Amino acid sequence: MIHRSYISDVLVGDCDNDGSNELLVITRYSGFVLFYDHFDNGWIETKLVERTESFTSAAIGDVKNIGQNLVVVSKKIEPLTMSATCPVDLKVIDPEGLTINKQSREITGVKYIETDLNGDDELDDQVIIPDRKIGDYYITVIPEPEAEPTDTYSLEVSVGDITLVLAEDVPINSIPDQPYCIESTENCISDVTLDKPNT
């Protein structure tokens, strides 16, 4: 059996349409969907699904109205977060060509936040995208009007427990001509920037 700290939902129902109820278990880590059949005073484990994403809840029922129960699971969607320390602003273009910056938000549900992220009493910039899309995100770093050429910025992108450091203490005068590029897939993000400054 799975350790209880990994379990996100447990249901009782006829998972395999044999006329008897089974125990359905889904996990928040490793993305397992398992059912347990009680047989001869023991449990027989059957793995239905194994994915890298985590599942949050499940249901058992005849959802297609075909006279057979199906198992339906939902997965957790982690927001895509882009964080830049001062003195810069951000412009982000999503895989569908929609833009977010300080002045406009074409992407539904996205937040552009200015807050002190690193405790230096200066406002930093953060873009939070709750519904991450599959494809490339382009991130342009724009110096603020009062920024000096020797001032430095840092840029990170994160999803869940994955964090990519795209720039760390890079001088303003070394901001790349081309935007930073993040590839977003179903399971992760990766840095595919071609023109990176020396950090």
pLDDT at residue 141 greater than cutoff 90: yes
For residue 148, count CB atoms less than 10 angstroms from its CB and return exposed for 0-12, middle for 13-18, buried for 19 or more: exposed
Q: Are 152 and 84 in the same domain?
A: yes
Give the model confidence (pLDDT) of 54-99 as tens digits: 677 888 999 899 999 998 887 767 899 999 998 999 999 999 999 9
Give the model confidence (pLDDT) of 171-186 as tens digits: 999 999 999 999 998 7
Q: Which of 75, 104, 134 is the last residue of a domain?
A: 75
Please give the residue range of the domain that contains residue 178: 80-191
Q: How many domains does the chain have?
A: 2
Q: List Cα–Cα distances, 72 to 16, 26, 171, in angstroms.
A: 13, 11, 50
pLDDT at residue 39 greater than cutoff 70: yes
pLDDT of residue 1: 54
Contact (Cβ atoms closer than 8 angstroms) between residue 51 and residue 28: no
pLDDT of residue 3: 59
pLDDT of residue 199: 46
pLDDT of residue 52: 58
Q: Which of 75, 100, 117 is the last residue of a domain?
A: 75
Q: Is residue 10 part of a domain?
A: yes
Average pLDDT, the chain: 86
- Return d(Cα 93, Cα 135) in angstroms, integer: 11
Nearest to 77 by CA among 192, 190, 184, 191: 184
Mean pLDDT for the stretch of residues 150-166: 92
Q: Are 39 and 86 in the same domain?
A: no
Give the model confidence (pLDDT) of 102-120 as tens digits: 998 898 889 999 999 988 8
